[in-house]
Structure 1
Amino acid sequence: MNAEENRSAHQAAVLGIILTSYLLIILDVSIVITGLPRIQQELAFSHAQLAWVQSIYTLVFGGFLLLGARAGDILGRRRMFQTGLAVFTLASLGVGMATSAGWLVAARGIQGLGAAILAPSSLALLAIHFPEGPQRRRATSLYGAVAGIGASVGLVMGGLLADLWSWRVGFFVNVPVGIALALAGARYIEESERRVGHFDLLGALLSTAGFGALIWGIVNVGDVGWQDTPSRIAIGAGITAILVFVLHEARASQPIMPLHLFRHRARLAAYLARFLLLGGMVTFFFYSTQFMQGVLGFSALQAGLGFLPMTLVNFAAALHGPRLLPRSSPTAQMVAGLVLIVAGMAWLAQVDASATYLMDVGLPMVLIGAGQGLCFGPLTAAGVAGTTPQDAGAASGVINVAHQLGSSTGLGAMAALATAAQAGDSGPDAVARGVSTALQGATVLLAMAATVALLLLASTRAPVHVASGAE
């Protein structure tokens, strides 16, 4: 084997390690959704506690992301990748062994911390091992595709495991996979050059407190409504802390989130579009599951399998999307994908209690799956377009913050709309009414994401894969 073949094999191994580690993170966001009824029965969760099985993961993940990204810059990205993987793996074991509601929620929070360290380090490592150009575009496109595929696969797996074995199996599987990834990472992943500097402690505290308070308030509003005073205080305090954080970052000598990242039009549009897209997509996953189980009468297994048309089409579109990059603009591919998602979501949002799976759920999911497979890859590539190796960690942190903040904000806002539409009623008609209202709101968010991408397409002559350092 010559040097070029050795290098290609090494890059393939690194890409496999990074994609698999990111898949673990994404799977654990969605794999619990279809298993929540079983978790509630087995561990005696109240309805309010049950929401925190998902929310605590998102809260800690989103709150610590920028700190995790900065730690990779200073301490070394391979070191933080291994640290995040270890924390995530041990926490997965803790989730699987949980014997009480408090234990499970605490372990999920620690999982979120591991994910906050692991996710930005994994994306930043791509910038080290894949040079700017076609190789990096392909790698980041595949990384982005994992975000879409993993969420839908997690729903299918969650339903299968909850009905056939146990919801715990999905978390126990993380343990041997995490150990194998750690061993492979030690062998194949190269350490990044450490940057001389210090932690922006004030910036870290402000970003963690700000994003944490904002996400907590929004999630809580989805459960109890906008009249809840603690939720409103948390949202106000979170926004204030984030504004102070931005002002601080403008003056910090070594900021945790360099503001010059937002001067690049492609990156700025990618962050905003991702925020809006995730708000719509998480709403789709959450309420489609509710509709299939609460209106169509599906079991957890059937609801998981109900996402299979979307998952298969998503997978096919994501695999073939990167091959189209040399022949079509990634931004055009992104826009086409978003338009397909909007069309599918608008169709799905018409559901009522008389809906059938095939015509009213399954076929719209095909459009959504195709669009998701097309757009997530180029959207991720645009988020790191033109970054230097020094900024790769910070840029990947911002991408993941947009991902998590969009998810919690969108779902919290749409949950409030769904609760208002149900007006305290129960039964299939009320569930269908709430689901339809939430999905209509999600359609608006997705249309806004498509508009942002269209404006990017109209205003950027060069494709989003600009040369390194271009602004």
Structure 2
Amino acid sequence: MLGQSSKTAVLLIACAAQFMVVLDVSIVNVALPEMRDSLHLSATGQQWIVNAYTLGFAGLLLLGGRLADLVGARRAFLSGLVLFTGASLAGGLATTGPLLIAARAIQGLGGAVLAPATLTLIMTTFTEPRERTRAMGAWSAVMAAGGAAGAVLGGVLTQYAGWRWVFFVNVPLGIVLLVAALARVTAAQAPGGGLHRLDLPGALTVTGGLTALTYAIIATESHGWTAPAVWLPAAVAVLLLAAFAAIEHRSAHPLVPLAVLRRRTLAVANASVLSLGAAMFAMWFLLSLYFQLVLHYSPVTAGLAFLPGCFSIIICAQVATRLIHRTGPRPLLIAGMTLSTAGFLWLSLLRPHGGYATGVVVPFMLCTLGMGLAMMPLTAAATAGARREEAGLASGLTNTSRQVGGALGLALLATIASHTTAAHGGASAAALTAGYDRAFLAAAVLTALAGVLALGLPGRQQTAA
């Protein structure tokens, strides 16, 4: 049994690593114009700085989660951390666009191993229900805040240190975490059978299928839905995922036991995570563009404009942690998605010459308050009842749903925004704002859908049982 101080150290290490992984989803958004100018990137190359990370991350999350079960959370954590930190250093040193995009893809691979391991560490360290709930509340708050903090930190680093520091900042943090993990994370959270039990055919097909699906989603940003660049990888994704289902049905040691997917709570929670992730990822991206291209904020000002959302997510995540044992996850999720839906509907009324205080901050905070209220209950519901040997699988499924949802939402809402902007005559402030308004209206539909899906979660008495 670990002492309380050792458990606290594990929690701090896991939360810091998860913060670093989530931070890199959003930290580059504010720095994209500087990267474009420095490396002479095309519009497509600029998009791939964001998309390469998402592609590597989403495609390998299930495999990363299963590795934590089979080789141990400690070994998976250390391996993912080394890969992520090394790729961050390579990204900061990149001298061409292709090198930077390759480094971002490797960052995504490292994150796909590291992120599930952080949640597995928590689930295997904190076994008492209330203790685990508090730990997962802290993890969820840090994860949610990472998206907001990325925009703030990215703006500050870009303006005062240069865009390369949005990558270099991970290096000292990664080294400190590596030393701390070697000293404080024991190998007791571990082995579930070793790599010889890894379902390689299943891993290859699901990784290939998710990667192809994510690629098809990303391709919609620059191609129509009927273009070969979209439907060919989509067709490959369907074939590979069908092959994955067939392999899992016959495998003695399946990567994802199909019985797990038939659990109502897990299925409903992951569907809600998918829908919420689609709205959440796109919100940071679209608001960052609105601040800089329409309101003409500097990188620092644009980053600081996200601070209220960062604080509200942290506060509401802690509120959810305190309430979940009294209410169960369902009421918190419904309340959170109601707040976020109201916020997105309000954001769909943005004006090209509106002010931050009068038109943005209140609806933005409604969105983030709702997200903070929902994130921890969703994670708790998605991992509820998972056995020790399934901890990495459950966390990998949750992270996969969030990342695939984010890729889908970003591609879909960015496409809606760009098509609406084009229909309004081009890149004027009014046309850009019209595009963002339409995209935020679509985000409201996504969060409303997440709230409806939450009705399928068990109530408080069923959760307690």
**What TM-score comes out, normalization by structure 2 length?**
0.95
* Counterpart contact for 2:214–2:404, Cα < 8 Å: yes
The one-letter code of the counterpart of 1:195 is G
Aligned equivalents of 1:237 and 1:58: distance in 2?
19
Aligned to 1:453: 454
Match in the other structure for 1:228: 227
One-letter amino acid matched to 2:454:
A
1:104 aligns with 2:106: no
Cα distance in structure 2, aligned partners of 1:376 and 1:195: 28
Preserved contact between residue 223 and residue 229 of structure 2 (Cα < 8 Å): no
The amino acid of 2:336's aligned partner reads G
Alignment of 1:107-256 (within 5 A): 107-191=103-187, 192-196=189-193, 197-256=196-255
**Maintained 8 Å contact 1:225/1:416:** no
Check whether the contact 1:143–1:380 (CA below 8 A) recurs between aligned residues. no
Cα deviation digits, residues 415-460 of structure 1 (max 9, x gap): 222222122622111111111111111111111001111232xx54
Secondary structure, aligned partner of 2:461: coil
Query: 1:22-76: per-residue Cα shift (whole Å, max 9, x none)?
Result: 0000001100001111111111111100100010000011111111122222222
SS of 2:220's equivalent?
A: helix
| Matched residues, number | 460
Map of 1:53 onto structure 2: 49
2: CA distance between counterparts of 1:49 and 1:439? 25
Q: Which moved more, 1:388-397 or 1:367-376?
A: 367-376
* Cα deviations by residue, 1:166-205 (Å, 9 ceiling, x for unpaired): 1222321211111111111112212233223522111111
Amino acid across the alignment from 1:305:
L
- The corresponding residue for 2:398 is 399
- Give the structure 1 partner of residue 40 of structure 2: 44
Structure 2: which amino acid aligns with 1:85? Answer: L
The SS at the match of 2:456 is: helix
Gaps of 5+ in 2: none
Query: 1:225, 1:363 → 2: CA distance?
Result: 35
Report the alpha carbon displacement of residue 101 of structure 1 after superposing the two structures with TM: 0.6
> What runs of 5+ residues in structure 1 fail to find an aligned partner?
none
When the two chains are superposed, the root-mean-square deviation of aligned CA atoms in Å is: 1.7
User: Given that residues 141 and 380 in structure 1 are in contact (C-alpha distance below 8 angstroms), is that contact kept between their aligned partners in structure 2?
Assistant: no
Question: What is the CA distance between 1:345 and its match in structure 2?
Answer: 0.9
**What amino acid maps onto 1:442 in structure 2?**
A
CA contact (8 A) 1:384 1:395 kept: yes
Matched to 2:135, the amino acid is A
Native 8 Å contact 1:222 1:414 kept in 2? no
| Partners of 2:258 and 2:181 in 1: CA distance | 31
In structure 1, distance between residues paired with 2:440 and 2:172? 38
2: CA distance, partners of 1:363 / 1:72: 41
| 1:325 aligned counterpart, secondary structure | helix
What is the CA–CA distance in structure 2 between the aligned matches of 1:287 and 1:227, rounded to whole Å?
25
Of all paired residues, the percent bearing the same amino acid is 36
Please, which of 75, 84, 88 is the counterpart of residue 88 of structure 1?
84
Instruction: Please report how far the alpha carbon of residue 237 of structure 1 lies from its aligned counterpart in structure 2 after TM superposition.
Output: 1.5
Kept in 1, the 8 Å contact 2:329–2:459? The answer is no
Match of 2:441 in 1: 440
More off after superposition, 21-30 vs 341-350: 341-350
8 A contact 1:331–1:463 mirrored in 2: no
- Partners in 2 of 1:345 and 1:172 — Cα distance? 34
Cα shift at 1:227: 4.0
Shift of 1:137: 1.3
Structure 1 ranges of 4+ moved more than 4 A: none
Aligned equivalents of 1:141, 1:315: Cα separation in 2: 9
Post-superposition shift, 1:463? Answer: 5.2
TM-score by length of 1: 0.94
Partners of 1:93 and 1:78 in 2: CA distance = 23
